[in-house]
Amino acid sequence: MKKILIADDEDEIRNLLAMAITARGYEVIACADGGKALEKIKEAVPDLLILDVMMPVIDGLHLCHQIVFESEIYPTPKIILLTCRKEDRDKEMGVTIGADMYLTKPFSLDDIMDKVKELIGEP
């Protein structure tokens, strides 16, 4: 079973994503901050990370960069960054630091699930 880590400090978004992704057959690990997410990633590398850009301890941008460029985490998981920031320069930064996709809030669950399948396939 493919594993997805969701890190978002907004309980409603984190829980909504976790329920939707679990219902489609993926294993989900959910965290409220980047520090806990990094701990969980080091324990068992997920196939995909869904990271909120603005969260406590370690924000999504720094966590993404750390995982892709500074850590010994292998294999490197696919990464989706979620944010309220909609400007092109923010999206470019997300891709530059190693994210596979950069999605803005609000989002539709169907769009998220399409992106999940595109990046890691079926559960």
DSSP code per residue over 28-86 = EEEESSHHHHHHHHHHS--SEEEEESS-SSS-HHHHHHIIIII---SSPPEEEEEES--
Percent of the chain with pLDDT strictly greater than 70: 97
Q: How far is Cα 91 from Cα 94, in angstroms, rounded to an integer?
A: 5
Q: What is the pTM of this model?
A: 0.94
Predicted local distance difference test score (pLDDT) of residue 93: 74
72 close to 38: Cβ distance less than 8 angstroms: no
Per-domain residue ranges for the chain?
3-117
Q: How far is Cα 105 from Cα 86, in angstroms, rounded to an integer?
A: 9
Predicted local distance difference test score (pLDDT) of residue 90: 66
- Tokens, residue 64: 């993404």
Return the residue matching tokens 């996709």: 101
Query: Does the structure show a pLDDT above 80 at 122?
Result: yes
Fold for the domain defined by 3-117: Rossmann fold (3.40.50)
**More confidently predicted of 6 and 97:** 6
Q: How far is Cα 61 from Cα 82, in angstroms, rounded to an integer?
A: 10
